[in-house]
Structure 1
Amino acid sequence: MKKIKGLGVSVGAFVVAVSANAWAQNGAASSVPASASGASAMVASGAATPETGRKANRALRRRVYAAISQHREISAGNISVVARDGAVTLNGTVTDATQIDKVAEITKGVPGVTSVTNKLSVQRRPFGSQ
């Protein structure tokens, strides 16, 4: 019984030691110069960190929403905007077919937008409504 308990404690200590070592290695990799590590190629290329990338994407999405909302004839409530590194995807529905191209043109005019993927469709009216 004591042997089993001792074996369990030693296995647990081994798992903790290996986990701590692996965790320390992951943290040390970020301190290696960009030229010495292939994993740090993103840093060497001048790409933004994930946190600043998310902030930039969020800010671009807000700018696109603001530009669309400037046009009162377009109901932006059913439009979803996804921004990633300047590429914007529009999803959702609009009330009129002419608004599909109008929303895409508005989005292309927003500073920071590099491309627009337009997946908008015309909202169907329920039967019996006019």
Structure 2
Amino acid sequence: MQKIRGLRLAIGTCIVAVSMNAWSQGDQASGAAAAPAGASAMVASSAAPAATGRKADRALRKKIYAAISKHKEISAGDISVTAKNGAVTLNGTAADTAQVAKVAEIAGGVAGVTSVNNKLTVGKPAFGTQ
């Protein structure tokens, strides 16, 4: 029984070592920096791009909000913008259908936007007034 456990442990260790070596070589071939000795290859290679992507997404959201706020006829307070790698999603409400289309048009015109998913709806008037 002890021999079987030892054999399983040895095989598992070899598989992990080979996997990490192959994964590390794949990163070096793509031009990524090599991980320092003793560091986890997964943590070293994935931490920097994720932070850069989130930073770019936040900057794109700010550009879109700024572009929308230049149009005084649009109330941007009920509109939320999410961005991921240039793909933008608009959520919330607008006063009428013309504003829904206008906000999508404005967002699509911002540099860095690759696509716009318009989920805006027309808001209902407060207290049933029209």
TM superposition score category, shorter chain reference: 0.5 to 0.7
| Compared CA separation, residues 115 and 70, structure 1 to 2 (3 A) | same
Counterpart of 2:74 in structure 1 is: 74
Question: Aligned-pair RMSD on alpha carbons?
Answer: 2.7
How far apart are the structure 1 equivalents of 2:72 and 2:127?
Answer: 26
Q: Deviations over 1:44-95 (max 9, x none)?
A: 2889700000000000000000000000000000000000000000000001
2:30 aligned residue (36, 39, 44): 44
Which structure dedicates a bigger proportion of its chain to helix? 2
SS at match of 2:61: helix
SS at match of 1:124: coil
SS at match of 2:56: helix
Structure-2-length-normalised TM-score: 0.65
Counterpart of 1:17 in structure 2 is: none
Percent of residue pairs identical:
56
Q: Gaps (5+ residues) in structure 2?
A: 1-16, 33-45
SS at match of 1:49: helix
How far apart are the structure 2 equivalents of 1:128 and 1:53?
Answer: 43
Structure-1-length-normalised TM-score: 0.65
Give runs of ≥4 in structure 1 deviating > 6 Å.
45-48
The count of residues paired between Structure 1 and Structure 2 equals 97
Counterpart of 1:3 in structure 2 is: none
Amino acid across the alignment from 1:114 = T
